[in-house]
Every structure is written in structure tokens, then in C-alpha cells.
């Protein structure tokens, strides 16, 4: 399998080859995911919920993400690895540069930041200094208290137009990848077609350039709430390796997410 880089991901978008992404937090699962053909591994701040037992992602620290990034890199030395920047670790460009440093040194190829217009100077500052950036729009879990819960975003024409504009602005500032979470499928399609960089969806339908899931949701072992956009591949296959390969093949074929996993 060729080494995945930002250039490879860009080419995959251009060729219509769907990108597969899963969260990973340790060496063993990172190795397994890489061996089964997952294109990108994300050290998500979701670890606050699925590993640490919190009700949201806010308590996660940069040190937590760096620790798990080192573990993932050790298990998958050739993987393309994205590290989430935790809540309030990038409130200013200076703070972002300071906190991105240990994540990149731990083995990340890219950092992911949630938000729109306020991030533009930060993305510019990071990319000018050699730190690749993945944006994140739609339902941004670090803003869950602002939204009043985990709710679908961009449902009105005005909010949809604003999100398209923000996506284009993030790309212009230097973002090389964009995650869109919990938005109506028509809006996801509009943004994917408007951008030249790859768009990865989670709860955004099968019209994006790729998909990401939290590994615990994919394996059906998340405690409590299982999102509408997730699918229990372990229940479907009965084997962890088969669950991963089935996820990869269904994303590549455009089978997942199906209509029942999407918001219309």
C-alpha cells in the first residue's frame, strides 16, 4: 500500500477514490487499521468520551492527545495520522503554534481544529510554519454547550450559505482537509463540489470525498448513545478484522453511509 500523504489524498479526491478514516488511540488498533487498508487515522478528542468516560470532549488536554498520538504512530509508522487539537488549545494563533508543536513531534502529520472564521489567521500561521491543518465544520463537539446538545447544523438556507462560505475561507487560509459533521446531505454535496481539498463526512451522507467514524461506534462498544450516522460493523461481521475491511469496502463503494445514516 503506498504511503498516504496530503498529495495522495488530494489525488484521491480528483479521481473520485473515497478516503477512509477511523479514530485510533493505541498501537494495537492503529496497526490493525493500517493493515486493513484504512487511509487515515485520527487521534480524536473523542477519547475524552470513549476512553476517559466524560460526557463530552472538553476535559481532554494537549498532553492526552500527544500521548495517544505517540502510541498510534508506534503501531502504524507509515500511516497518515491526524491529531485533534483539544478545547481552547488554539484560542489564538500563538497558542495554536505552541500546542501543535508537541502533537507534530509525537508523530502527527496534520492537526485538526474546529471552527470557522475566527480560525483563519491561525490556519495561515500554522501552515506558513509547516503544520498541515484539517478544518472541522458543522457539529463541532467542542461547542456542544453553545449548540445546546449534539444537533444537526446548517438546516436553514442562511446557515447553509454561511457554512459554504466558511468552508471556502478555511481552504483559502491553507487547510488541506475538511471534516463535515452532522449536516444535511445536500449541503455536504454542495460543499464537497465547491472545494478543491478533500471533504470527509461524518453524518453528512455518502456524497463527501470520504468518511470517518469513531472506532468504538463502528465496533458497537460505545457506552450510552450510538449516533444515527454510525453502523455496528462488528455485529454485521462477527470479527474485528472483517468489520474493518467491510467498513473500508463499503465506504469505497459508496454503500456506507446509507440513507438511514444520513440527514436529508
Cell of 96: 495554536
Catalytic residue list: 181
**For a pLDDT cut of 90, what percent of the chain falls above it?**
85
How would residue 119 be classed by pLDDT, with cut points 50, 70 and 90?
very high
The verdict on whether residue 189 carries a ligand-binding annotation is no
- The CATH fold assigned to 6-256 is TIM Barrel (3.20.20)
230: annotated binding-site residue?
no
Dig out the grid coordinates for 13 from the structure.
479526491
Say yes or no to pLDDT of 79 above 70. Answer: yes
| Alpha carbons 189 and 4: distance in angstroms, whole number | 24
Strands 210-213 vs 19-23: parallel, antiparallel or unpaired: parallel
Burial of 135 (0-12, 13-18, 19+ CB in 10 A): buried
What is the Cα–Cα distance from 169 to 13, expressed in whole angstroms? 19
Domain ranges for the chain: 6-256
How does pLDDT run across 189-236, given as a tens digit for each residue? 999 999 999 999 999 999 999 999 999 999 999 876 677 888 999 999
84 is in an annotated binding site: yes
Cα–Cα dist 167/56, whole Å:
25
Q: With H, G, I as helix, E, B as strand and everything else as coil, classify residue 181.
A: strand
Amino acid at each position: 500500500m503506498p504511503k498516504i500523504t496530503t498529495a495522495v489524498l488530494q489525488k484521491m479526491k480528483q479521481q473520485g477514490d473515497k478516503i477512509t478514516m477511523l479514530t485510533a488511540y493505541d498501537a494495537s488498533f492503529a496497526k490493525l487499521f493500517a493493515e486493513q487498508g484504512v487511509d487515515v487515522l485520527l487521534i480524536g478528542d473523542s477519547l475524552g468520551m470513549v476512553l476517559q468516560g466524560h460526557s463530552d470532549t472538553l476535559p481532554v488536554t494537549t498532553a492526552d492527545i500527544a500521548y495517544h498520538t505517540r502510541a498510534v504512530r508506534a503501531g502504524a509508522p507509515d500511516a497518515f495520522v491526524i491529531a485533534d487539537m483539544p478545547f481552547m488549545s488554539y484560542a489564538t494563533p500563538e497558542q495554536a503554534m505552541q500546542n501543535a508543536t508537541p502533537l507534530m513531534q509525537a508523530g502527527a502529520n496534520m492537526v485538526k481544529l474546529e471552527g470557522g472564521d475566527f480560525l483563519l489567521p491561525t490556519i495561515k500561521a500554522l501552515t506558513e510554519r509547516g503544520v498541515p491543518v484539517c478544518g472541522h465544520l458543522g457539529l463541532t463537539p467542542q461547542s456542544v454547550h453553545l449548540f445546546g446538545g449534539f444537533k444537526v447544523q446548517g438546516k436553514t438556507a442562511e446557515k447553509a450559505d454561511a457554512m459554504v462560505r466558511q468552508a471556502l475561507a478555511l481552504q483559502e487560509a491553507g487547510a488541506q482537509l475538511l471534516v463535515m459533521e452532522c449536516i444535511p446531505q445536500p449541503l455536504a454535496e454542495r460543499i464537497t463540489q465547491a472545494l478543491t481539498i478533500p471533504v470527509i463526512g461524518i453524518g453528512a451522507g455518502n456524497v463527501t470525498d470520504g468518511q470517518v467514524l469513531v472506532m468504538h461506534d463502528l465496533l458497537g462498544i460505545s457506552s450510552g448513545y450510538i449516533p444515527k450516522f454510525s453502523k455496528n460493523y462488528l455485529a454485521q461481521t462477527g470479527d474485528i478484522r472483517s468489520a474493518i475491511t467491510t467498513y473500508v469496502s463499503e465506504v469505497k463503494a459508496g454503500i456506507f453511509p446509507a440513507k438511514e445514516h444520513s440527514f436529508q
